[in-house]
Structures are given as structure tokens and as C-alpha cells.
């Protein structure tokens, strides 16, 4: 028996979800780049180049207060007041935050919802059709994703654009690469899952096509760092399916060559190596811009 200690700090959970090694039920084509029997770790092809500039996009969100809204007709509705931010950091020898925007909104299905104006910020209206279950948190997630798309719009197409998290159905980000740190399901047939532990830092799997509700090209790569278990330092990347398999493989090679240099170290980051330095720095800046949570909470109580 061998016991390995996860490198991530326990407060951040684990990069491997409880079902991460279970085979996905989504349609997966693992024979796009090579046949299944030829699956093996791949190094970037000779001649692979990295763009002169790489841009990283991230967003943060925080629920400032949960609210109950009573309409003029006497109906009672749940809601949340939340702050969220998104920004872009561009790396071309130095890392520079080129855009960072903060929004504050009240999310609720209450009719005739109006903004909440406080001493320390205005919470605009974000109506939702339902407030049950996860509807409010999903609406907040969607608003943050829209803001991420907005701040990334000026990034030129010839710049490698890396978005922290899966692409899902983000609008206006067709040339972006989704960077997924946490694995909730293995998008690999069992017959090729053995390739993951074989990856060396700076190597990737062949490209596969994930074909569930949102189709995308995807691949796994390993970052440098502690290798306590077979999936240590492994991330998954994904791009729009509106490319040929050859184009997808070229992007995969470029990412496999470019991203390892940004891998964080355990003594500097609790989610090393997956939490890349530019993303970690941008996240700190965005959380700072959200402001003081206690101050905003008090101002909301005063404004109610």
C-alpha cells in the first residue's frame, strides 16, 4: 500500500472530485488525433512556437447578503446581493493587469425589482426567472462569465487567451482556451486513462472531442511540480470545436509549451502547481477591488 498526500492545502479541497476517475457518460471521441491503440504521452511538435503575448482572464464573485423581497402585492421572494469582478492580465516579459471591472447586483425573481443604492455602491438589477435551489448562484456565475467575456473582447486573436475555468457557453470567446484545474469527471475511456500517469511535465495527451451539450476539443497536460500521485499537476484544456483537429492539436502543443513556465510552487501557492502565477495574482487584485465585505454588508442593512 502507498499513501500520497495531496499537494493542495485542505482548505481548497482537492483538484480531484469524488467521481473524477469515473468514466463520463458524455459522448467522447478519443480517436480524433490518433487511434486509441496509439494513445501515448505527446511532447510539442518540433517547430512549435509560443505567441509573444499570453493573456489570462479570471473572475471572482462574493455574496454580500441574502435578502427577502416583499412585493407590493404581498408576495415574498428570495434574492442575493453580490459583487463580482473580472480582469485580464497580459504577459509579454512582464505581467500587467490591463483591465479589471467590478459589478454589484441584486439577483431575484421578485417582480418590479429595483436597484439597491448604498453609501458604498449601487447594486443593479439582475432579474431571474426562479430563485429555488441553485438558480441564484447560477445566475451570479453567468453574470460573472459575461463580464469575463466583456473584458477579454479587446484581446487580439493572435494572442494566446487563457480563461480560468471551462468555456461552457461563454459568448464572444471563440479563440479562448479554457483552463480547468479541478477534475470532476474523467473525459477519457477507461482504455486510455492509463496515459495520464505516464505524462511527464510539458507533455500532453492526444486531443479528444467531448460531445455532450457543449462540444469542445480537449486534452490533458502535466505541469512541473511534486508528483505524489498519477494525476498530480494535471490540468485539462479545452477550445471551441470550430477548428480542425490539426488546428486543435497545434493549439494543444502551444499550450503544452507555454503554460508550464507559469506553474506555481507549493511554498508560494496553496493550489500549486495548477494555480498559475498570473491567474493567482489577478485573483488577488480582483478580490481587493471587491472591497470590504463587512462594510458592504452594513451598508446594505442601512439601505434596506
25 membership: H or E segment, kind and range: none
Q: Torsion angle, CA of 199/190/240/12, rounded to 10 degrees?
A: -70
3-class secondary structure, 222? strand
Spatial distance between the Cα atoms of 221 and 237, rounded to a whole number of angstroms: 8
Predicted TM-score (pTM) of the model is: 0.92
Strands in 28-29's sheet, in edge-to-edge order, are 28-29, 208-211, 215-222, 234-239, 176-180, 160-164, 54-70, 76-91, 95-108, 121-127, 116-118
Tell me how many degrees the CA angle 251-253-254 measures, rounded to the nearest 5: 65
What are the E-state strand segments in 109-214? 116-118, 121-127, 160-164, 176-180, 208-211
The DSSP output letter for 42 is B
What are the E-state strand segments in the chain? 28-29, 54-70, 76-91, 95-108, 116-118, 121-127, 160-164, 176-180, 208-211, 215-222, 234-239
Residue 288 to residues 103, 282, 292: CA-CA distances in angstroms? 13, 10, 8
pLDDT of 75 reads 87
Domain boundaries, the chain: 22-303
Mean pLDDT by 10 residues, the chain (304 residues): 64 61 75 94 94 95 96 88 98 92 97 93 95 93 96 92 88 87 82 90 96 88 90 94 95 97 90 94 97 97 92
pLDDT of 136 reads 97
For 87-115, letters b (16+ CB in 10 Å) and e give bbbbbeeeeebebbbbbbbbbbbbeebee
pLDDT of 110 reads 93
Location of C-alpha cell 493542495: 8
Q: Are 78 and 273 in contact (CB under 8 A)?
A: no
pLDDT of 84 reads 99
Amino acid at each position: 500500500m502507498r499513501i500520497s498526500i495531496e499537494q493542495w492545502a485542505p482548505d481548497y479541497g482537492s483538484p480531484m472530485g469524488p467521481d473524477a476517475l469515473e468514466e463520463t457518460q458524455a459522448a467522447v471521441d478519443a480517436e480524433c488525433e490518433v487511434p486509441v491503440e496509439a494513445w501515448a504521452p505527446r511532447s510539442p511538435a518540433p517547430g512549435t512556437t509560443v505567441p509573444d503575448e499570453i493573456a489570462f482572464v479570471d473572475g471572482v464573485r462574493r455574496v454580500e447578503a441574502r435578502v427577502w423581497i416583499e412585493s407590493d402585492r404581498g408576495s415574498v421572494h428570495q434574492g442575493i446581493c453580490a459583487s463580482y469582478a473580472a480582469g485580464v492580465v497580459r504577459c509579454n516579459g512582464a505581467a500587467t493587469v490591463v483591465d479589471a471591472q467590478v459589478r454589484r447586483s441584486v439577483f431575484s425573481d421578485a417582480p418590479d425589482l429595483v436597484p439597491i443604492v448604498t453609501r458604498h455602491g449601487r447594486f443593479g438589477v439582475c432579474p431571474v426567472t426562479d430563485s429555488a435551489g441553485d438558480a441564484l448562484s447560477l445566475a451570479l456565475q453567468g453574470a460573472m462569465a459575461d463580464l469575463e467575456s466583456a473584458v477579454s473582447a479587446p484581446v487580439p486573436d493572435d494572442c494566446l487567451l487563457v480563461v480560468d475555468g471551462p468555456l461552457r457557453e461563454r459568448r464572444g470567446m471563440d479563440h479562448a482556451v479554457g483552463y480547468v484545474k479541478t477534475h470532476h469527471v474523467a473525459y477519457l475511456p477507461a482504455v486510455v486513462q492509463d496515459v495520464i500517469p505516464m505524462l511527464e511535465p510539458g507533455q500532453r495527451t492526444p486531443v479528444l472531442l467531448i460531445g455532450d451539450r457543449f462540444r469542445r476539443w480537449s486534452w490533458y497536460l502535466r505541469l512541473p511540480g511534486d508528483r505524489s500521485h498519477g494525476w498530480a499537476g494535471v490540468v485539462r484544456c479545452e477550445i471551441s470545436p470550430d477548428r480542425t483537429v490539426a488546428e486543435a492539436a497545434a493549439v494543444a502543443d502551444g499550450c503544452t509549451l507555454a503554460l508550464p513556465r507559469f506553474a506555481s510552487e507549493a511554498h508560494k501557492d496553496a493550489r500549486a502547481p495548477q494555480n498559475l502565477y498570473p491567474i493567482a495574482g489577478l485573483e488577488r487584485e480582483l478580490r481587493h477591488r471587491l472591497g470590504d465585505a463587512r462594510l458592504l454588508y452594513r451598508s446594505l442593512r442601512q439601505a434596506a
